[in-house]
């Protein structure tokens, strides 16, 4: 970063003595633009000695996916994005037949059950109910008085969501793949933790009169940032980072405008 | 000596302690027993959930009214769905004004159960255990209603319906049985002056219709019968024109309706208060009865309409209609819900009355880009509340929350459709004045 051409030094206007035209001896003051010595690179030293990097929504050790970081001024944008309360999208993989103590497949085994009675239909029914109860929670925790006309208008547009602290809420669930004993869900949620999603997989197993563990949690979208904008491990270099920041700037601004006004 | 001890230790108790290796864990896992909670042919169970005002006994849970333990308090209102244990699978339920009827289509002798108010014998005669000659005035738990069937082990009960103080039971081969208050002829028999309805054993049977009756509907004090041929018969109170027979008098014998529905094949009739709606097979809506709340204001300015009139709504082909006390709701073939009338109609607190049907946006029923195939499958009406069932088995309610009848868990009125969390897929719902009954299938 420090090798990149820095800012041009500030200019100032000083009155410098210069020899007057004509005879020698007399000195005249001529205005000239001179660089300020305080800005000279040899005086100031390298421009960046440390960088302030802030992290967006947390990601577990066992989970993977999009992880948003803010650099320097971006940290303030991070706070604003947090206050927007946008939904995050996860791909959660599960496996029927086992129940463990930490709800993932690497935990201590608690119980093994049969799962041949489970069909995709039953799973989708359970998912519909989960979505339904969470929709209710969405409306309840948004702290809007249900008796007003604005509440009705927002509810019609589907824009009601909690703009403050709330327990984890799932706004949408969908089954992407179903091949006994494995299955994969796409979950859109707010204010959640990855452990909560694993617990959800476990509870789905219980509802279906069997048991399930979570094999994979992958965040594919965090507010405006999706997997396409994210940089994989091979691209963690200055060029790509700068390009990525430039590409996302517009999107972030637009979203903040829309939500916070 | 020491050597022997060491050898013993190594053999018997000398197993290396420490964290189990991966292989040991895997072996332990494979050796673990597998539990089976549900087999491959596990059936989904049918359940009944009730909620609302319980002191009338209409919920069928006696411990709400008379607690069985000393420290328990009586529960006046059950604000969220509560499971009602029944012996048989209930196929049809109806809520009246303070009482409920549950019917099962079995061939057993007991086919209909009733609970709630019985001051007019709307639940038949319930012999009191204390005094064998008198009957119960409040029935607190589902009690069998003895019907005078000719062939009790062959006839099936198809449907039940309840009005303010009378009830109708529809069977497949033996016509319609009516019981309860008959002061306006709503039971289909001649009005007897000064008849005492409380503790009455009389259950009247109606058989004379032009074809088999396929639907019975009770209004507040009148009864409607729809036959297989698509004709509608009515009897009972007619002061608001709700019998639709062209006059405002009482009718004590079921009489055929004419007017705009003459010759039209009616596929559904609905009524709960004093207004009636009928839907034809071509998707047209006909209405008659009370119009004080603009229910029929689209065709007439009068407040009572005593002959069926066609309601010219341009909302598409209508599939189902439901009438409430002051508001009406219809469901079209596309799955859209339209409301009109007076009261809390479901479009926010600003819409109080309208004579022309207004559509409720489908996004309020869970429709979104993420789940675009959600449709409303049925609509039902109570006296001042509405209920809608989606094709995913979710129940949405809105309207006046009289004594907790909406089941949302809150006591406030609901101005737009709100989900009721029922642990199961809701198959049918019956709305009453201050309570509701739902027939639910479990998930797995």
pLDDT tens digits for range B185-235: 999 889 988 888 888 889 999 988 889 999 999 999 999 999 999 999 999
Same domain? For A29 and A118 the reply is: no
Q: CA B173: distance to chain centroid?
A: 24
Indicate yes or no: CB of A156 within 8 angstroms of CB of B36.
no
Number of structural domains (chain A) is: 2
CB contact under 8 A, A146 and B371: no
A127 and A85 both lie in a single domain: yes
Q: Could you tell me the sign of the dihedral formed by the alpha carbons of A163, A168, A174, A176, in that order?
A: positive
Which residue of B37, B349, B361 is in closest CB contact with A209?
Answer: B37
C-alpha B161/C-alpha B105 separation (Å) is 15
Residues A120, A69 within the same domain: yes
- Separation of first and last alpha carbons in chain B: 66
**Nearest C-alpha of chain A: how many angstroms from B229?**
38
Q: Which residue, A17, A32, A50, sits at the end of a domain?
A: A50
Measured CA to CA, the distance from residue A218 to residue A91 in angstroms comes to 5
Residues paired with residue A172 on neighbouring β-strands, in sequence order: A188
Q: How far apart are CA A145 and CA A157, in angstroms?
A: 16
Q: A15 and A104 share a domain?
A: no
Kindly state whether residues A30 and A63 are assigned to the same domain: no
Q: In this predicted model, what pLDDT tens digit does every residue of B35-67 receive, in sequence order?
A: 888 888 878 889 999 999 999 999 999 999 989
Contact B95, B434 (CB under 8 A): no
Cα-based distances in Å from B47 to A233, B43, B50, B230, B440: 54, 13, 10, 32, 5
CB A103 within 8 A of CB A195: yes
Q: Do A83 and A11 fall into the same domain? A: no
Domain final residue, candidates A50, A71, A86: A50
- Residue A238: phi and psi, rounded to 5, are -60, -45
Per-residue model confidence (pLDDT) at position A58: 86
What's the confidence (pLDDT) of residue A234? 87
Identify the pLDDT of residue A86: 87
- A104: three-class secondary structure by DSSP: strand
- The set of catalytic residues of A is 60
Q: Is the pLDDT of residue B432 over 70?
A: yes
- Any CB–CB contact under 8 A between A116 and chain B? yes
Q: B32 and A207 in contact by Cβ < 8 A?
A: no
Q: What is the pLDDT of residues B394-403, one digit of tens each?
A: 999 999 998 9
Where residue A111 sits, what CATH number does that domain have?
Answer: 3.30.2350.10
Q: How large is the average pLDDT for residues B244-266?
A: 90
**With contact defined as beta carbons under 8 Å apart, do B6 and A83 qualify?**
no
Model pLDDT, residue B397: 93
How far is Cα B438 from Cα B82, in angstroms, rounded to an integer? 10
Q: What pLDDT, on a 0 to 100 scale, did the predictor assign at position B235?
A: 92
Residue A102: exposure state from Cβ atoms within 10 A (0-12, 13-18, ≥19): middle
A127 at the B interface (CB within 8 A)? no
Is the distance from CB of B385 to CB of B324 less than 8 angstroms?
Answer: yes
pLDDT value at position B436?
Answer: 94
What is the per-residue pLDDT across B159-178, written as a single tens digit (0 to 9) for each? 999 999 999 999 998 899 99
Q: And the tokens for B159? A: 């449907």
Long-range Cβ pairs for the range B284-287 (8 Å, 24+): B284/B310, B284/B311, B284/B318, B285/B310, B285/B311, B285/B313, B285/B318, B285/B321, B285/B330, B286/B259, B286/B260, B286/B261, B286/B310, B286/B311, B287/B311, B287/B328
Check: CB of residue B180 under 8 Å from CB of residue B193: no
Place of tokens 């868990």: B409
Residue B11 has pLDDT above 70, yes or no: no
- Region of B31 (left: φ > 0; alpha: ψ -120 to 50; beta: rest) is alpha
For residue A32, the model assigns a pLDDT of 74
Please report which helix (H) or strand (E) contains residue A119, including its range. none
d(CA B82, CA B422): 9
Q: Is B287 in contact with B295 (CB distance < 8 Å)?
A: yes
Look at residues B98, B104, B103, B91 and name the one whose alpha carbon lies nearest to residue B59: B98
Strand, helix or coil for residue A100: strand
Q: Select from B34, B419, B425 the Cβ nearest to the Cβ of A114.
A: B34
What three-state secondary structure class fits A63?
coil
The answer to whether B34 contacts A113, with C-beta atoms less than 8 Å apart, is yes
Residue B233's pLDDT is what? 92
Put simply, the answer to whether B414 touches A126 (Cβ < 8 Å) is no
pLDDT reported for residue A141: 86
Half-sphere exposure of residue B393: CA atoms within 13 angstroms, side-chain side:
21
Q: What is the pLDDT along chain A (261 residues), one digit of tens a residue?
A: 677 666 666 777 777 776 666 655 667 777 777 777 777 778 777 777 888 888 888 888 888 888 888 888 888 888 888 888 888 999 999 999 989 998 988 888 888 999 888 989 889 889 988 888 888 888 888 888 888 888 888 888 888 888 888 899 998 898 999 988 899 999 999 888 888 999 999 999 998 999 999 999 999 988 888 888 888 888 888 888 888 888 888 888 888 888 876
Contacts of B212 (CB under 8 A, 6+ apart): B172, B227, B228
A37 and A152 in a common domain: no
B345/B334 Cα distance (integer angstroms): 20
Mean pLDDT across the stretch B111-134? 89
Residue A28 shares a structural domain with residue A112? no
Note whether A86 and A7 are same-domain residues: no
User: Residue A181: is the preceding peptide bond cis (ω within 30°)?
Assistant: yes
Cβ–Cβ < 8 Å for B49, B436: no
pLDDT at A52: 87
With CB atoms and an 8 Å threshold, state whether A112 touches B42. no
- The residue whose two tokens read 């769905």 is B81
Query: Which chain A residues in 147-206 lie under 8 Å from chain B, judged by CB atoms?
Result: 147-149, 151-153, 155-158, 172, 174, 188
Q: Which residues of A touch B345 (CB under 8 A)?
A: none
Chain B contact for A106 (CB, 8 A cutoff): no
For A29, the domain range is: 1-50
Amino acid A7: pLDDT: 67
How far, CA to CA in Å, does B66 sit from each of B59, B60, B126, B144, B254?
13, 12, 19, 20, 41
Tokens of A168: 């984890």
Measured CA to CA in angstroms, residue B106 lies from A200, B92, B109, B207, B426 at distances of: 40, 11, 8, 21, 21
Instruction: Say whether both A19 and A83 belong to one domain.
Output: no
* Domain endpoint, select from A14, A31, A50: A50
* pLDDT greater than 60 at residue B10: no
Is the pLDDT assigned to residue B343 strictly greater than 60? yes
Q: Are residues A58 and A39 in the same domain?
A: no
Q: Do A37 and A77 sit in the same domain of this protein?
A: no
Which residue of A lies nearest to B421 if distances are taken between CA atoms? A133
> Is residue B7 very low, low, confident or very high in pLDDT (cuts 50, 70, 90)?
low
């Amino acid at each position: 970063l420090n090798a990149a051409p820095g800012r041009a030094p500030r200019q100032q206007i000083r009155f410098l003595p210069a020899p007057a035209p004509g005879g020698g001896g007399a000195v005249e003051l001529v205005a000239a633009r001179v660089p300020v010595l305080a800005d000279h690179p040899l005086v100031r030293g390298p421009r960046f000695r440390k960088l302030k990097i802030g992290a967006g929504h947390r990601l577990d050790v066992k989970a993977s996916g999009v992880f948003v970081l803010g650099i320097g001024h971006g940290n303030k944008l991070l706070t604003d994005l947090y206050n927007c309360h946008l939904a995050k999208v996860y791909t959660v993989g599960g496996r029927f037949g086992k129940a463990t103590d930490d709800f993932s497949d690497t935990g201590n085994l608690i119980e093994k059950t049969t799962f041949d009675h489970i069909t995709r239909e039953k799973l989708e029914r359970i998912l519909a109910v989960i979505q339904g109860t969470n929709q209710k929670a969405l409306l309840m925790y948004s702290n809007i008085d249900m008796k007003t006309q604005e509440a009705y208008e927002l509810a019609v547009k589907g824009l009601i969501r909690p703009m403050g602290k709330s327990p984890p809420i799932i706004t949408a669930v969908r089954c992407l793949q179903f091949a006994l004993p494995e299955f994969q869900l796409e979950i859109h949620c707010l204010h959640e933790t990855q452990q909560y999603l694993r617990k959800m997989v476990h509870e789905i197993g219980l509802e279906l009169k069997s048991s399930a563990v979570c094999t994979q949690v992958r965040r594919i979208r965090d507010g405006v940032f999706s997997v396409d904008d994210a940089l994989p491990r091979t691209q963690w270099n200055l060029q790509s980072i700068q390009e990525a920041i430039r590409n996302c700037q517009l999107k972030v601004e637009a979203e903040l405008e829309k939500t916070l006004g | 000596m020491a050597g022997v001890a060491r050898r013993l230790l190594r053999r018997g108790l000398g197993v290396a302690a420490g964290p189990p290796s991966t292989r040991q864990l895997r072996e332990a896992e494979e050796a673990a027993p597998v539990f089976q909670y549900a087999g491959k042919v596990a059936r989904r169970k049918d359940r009944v959930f009730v909620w609302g005002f319980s002191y009338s006994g209409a919920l069928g849970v006696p411990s709400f009214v008379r607690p069985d333990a000393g420290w328990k308090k009586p529960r006046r209102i059950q604000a969220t769905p509560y499971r009602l244990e029944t012996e048989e699978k209930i196929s049809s339920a109806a809520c009246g004004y303070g009482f409920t009827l549950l019917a099962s289509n079995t061939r057993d002798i007991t086919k209909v159960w009733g609970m709630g108010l019985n001051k007019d014998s709307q639940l038949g005669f319930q012999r009191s255990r204390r005094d064998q000659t008198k009957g119960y005035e409040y029935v607190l738990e589902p009690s069998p209603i003895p019907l005078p069937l000719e062939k009790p082990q062959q006839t099936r009960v198809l449907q039940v319906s309840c009005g303010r103080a009378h009830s109708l039971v529809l069977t497949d081969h033996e016509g319609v049985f009516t019981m309860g208050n008959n002061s306006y002829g709503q039971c289909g028999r001649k009005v007897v002056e000064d008849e005492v309805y409380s503790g009455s054993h009389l259950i009247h049977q109606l058989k004379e219709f032009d074809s088999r009756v396929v639907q019975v509907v009770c209004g507040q004090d009148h009864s409607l019968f729809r036959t297989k041929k698509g004709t509608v018969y009515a009897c009972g109170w007619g002061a608001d024109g709700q019998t639709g027979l062209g006059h405002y008098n009482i009718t004590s014998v079921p009489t055929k309706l004419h007017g705009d529905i003459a010759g039209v094949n009616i596929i559904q009739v609905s009524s709960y208060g004093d207004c009636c709606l009928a839907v034809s097979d071509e998707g047209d809506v006909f209405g008659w009865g009370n119009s004080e709340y603009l229910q029929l204001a689209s065709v007439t300015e009068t407040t009572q309409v005593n002959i069926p009139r066609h309601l010219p709504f341009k909302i598409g082909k209508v599939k189902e209609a439901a009438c409430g006390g002051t508001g009406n709701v219809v469901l079209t073939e596309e799955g859209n819900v339209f409301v009109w009338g007076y009261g809390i109609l479901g479009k926010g607190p600003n819409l109080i009355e309208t004579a022309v049907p207004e559509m409720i946006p489908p996004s309020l029923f869970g429709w979104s880009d993420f789940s675009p195939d959600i449709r409303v499958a049925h609509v039902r009406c109570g006296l001042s509340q509405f209920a809608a069932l989606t094709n995913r088995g979710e129940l949405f309610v809105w309207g006046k929350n009289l004594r907790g009848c909406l089941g949302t868990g809150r006591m406030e009125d609901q101005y737009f459709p709100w989900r009721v969390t029922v642990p199961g897929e809701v198959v049918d719902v019956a709305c009453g004045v201050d309570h509701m009954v739902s027939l639910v299938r479990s998930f797995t």
